[in-house]
A = this chain, B = another copy of it.
């Protein structure tokens, strides 16, 4: 209803009761997955990572797709899943303060949930994303990420897949592998790297300080082998610390783009993680054009992040 929108911009509930804190397990929907060092029953303390259904889901798992036409329009039901990955039992931890091993667990949880949701033949894609900070869309302060499982491939992934397929058809090479080769040679847009991953500012970033993390080897599907989540944890945490240091803890989103279910392993697409600090506002021009005005060159952004003191 119209009056429900009046609170916008909604503010994060600070202090007070937190449903994600250890001890409050009974206030969330029953857990789907939890990592417990010493085992133990579900929905009680003792976990260090916990996945629960979102209490206010964008999509629901029950029902049929019911694809139908309505005159010239097409529609289908909002079938899917919407889950919350509670990254730590402690209210004060963030991805910047968690031990690297805990960061790695979060990345494993993303994988475990994707592989489980893949079994549902109605689902085609799982989008993993994190909203950090109120302006980035977070409504709870306690560190968490989310996933939404979808019955169709997201528009932006579809566009990347189409472009990648076209490139592959022409060159018989993965375009992301080509990009990596050029970036590692040029070096001006590199933020950091380790034996398995590169973190860099993409050539034409939509947002200031937009940063991508891409596996050096060709891997099309996030849950696909090799499971380099220890290296990913290292570079993700390193990159987030650089962004936090240079930009004074800005709000940010990150998200994972991967090949969809049923075409997991392929030669043309390359999974990656995109980090978008929220520093500028979307306005009429962006909404109407699909173009983004970015005042910071990727070379400058990368230089600031590369030279950050950690």
Residues of A participating in the B interface, judged by any CB pair closer than 8 Å = 2-6, 8-10, 58, 70-73, 75, 127, 129-131, 135-138, 146, 148, 150, 154-157, 159, 175, 178-179, 182, 186, 203-204, 208-209, 246-248, 250, 253-257, 274, 276, 278-285, 287-291, 293, 295, 304
* 8 contacting pairs across A/B (C-beta < 8 A): A2-B304, A8-B281, A72-B178, A73-B182, A73-B203, A129-B287, A135-B281, A137-B281
Q: Are A71 and B127 neighbours in the complex by a CB distance under 8 Å?
A: no
Q: Are A136 and B283 neighbours in the complex by a CB distance under 8 Å?
A: yes
Q: Which B residues lie within 8 Å of A186 (CB)?
A: 71
* A245 nearest CB across to chain B (Å): 9
Alpha-carbon distance A72/B182, docked complex (angstroms): 8
Checking B154, B182, B256, B274 against A291 with a beta-carbon cut-off of 8 angstroms, the contacting residue is B154
* A7 nearest CB across to chain B (Å): 10
Q: Which B residues lie within 8 Å of A247 (CB)?
A: 2, 5
* Nearest B residue (CB) for A132: B284
Q: Are B280 and A8 neighbours in the complex by a CB distance under 8 Å?
A: yes
Q: What number of copies of this chain does the assembly contain?
A: 2
Name 17 extra pairs, CB < 8 A, besides A9-B281, A137-B283, A282-B282.
Answer: A2-B209, A5-B250, A8-B281, A10-B281, A72-B178, A72-B182, A129-B287, A130-B284, A131-B283, A135-B281, A137-B281, A148-B289, A154-B289, A154-B291, A156-B288, A156-B290, A274-B288
Alpha-carbon distance A5/B288, docked complex (angstroms): 24
Q: Are A255 and B279 neighbours in the complex by a CB distance under 8 Å?
A: no
Q: Which B residues lie within 8 Å of A279 (CB)?
A: 5, 8
Alpha-carbon distance A146/B253, docked complex (angstroms): 29
Q: Which B residues lie within 8 Å of A156 (CB)?
A: 288-290
Q: Which B residues lie within 8 Å of A304 (CB)?
A: 2
Q: Are A253 and B129 neighbours in the complex by a CB distance under 8 Å?
A: no
Q: Which B residues lie within 8 Å of A182 (CB)?
A: 71-73
* A288 nearest CB across to chain B (Å): 3
Alpha-carbon distance A308/B114, docked complex (angstroms): 46
* Nearest B residue (CB) for A130: B284
* A207 nearest CB across to chain B (Å): 9
* A232 nearest CB across to chain B (Å): 17
* Nearest B residue (CB) for A281: B137
Alpha-carbon distance A250/B7, docked complex (angstroms): 11
Q: Are B72 and A284 neighbours in the complex by a CB distance under 8 Å?
A: no
Alpha-carbon distance A254/B283, docked complex (angstroms): 10
Q: Which B residues lie within 8 Å of A73 (CB)?
A: 182, 203-204
Q: Are A72 and B179 neighbours in the complex by a CB distance under 8 Å?
A: yes
Alpha-carbon distance A256/B285, docked complex (angstroms): 10
* Nearest B residue (CB) for A125: B289
Alpha-carbon distance A58/B157, docked complex (angstroms): 28
> A155-B289, A156-B290 known; A284 and B137 CB under 8 Å?
yes
Please provide the 7 A-B residue pairs with the shortest distance between their CB atoms, ordered closest to farther. A137-B283, A255-B288, A155-B290, A129-B284, A154-B289, A253-B284, A156-B290
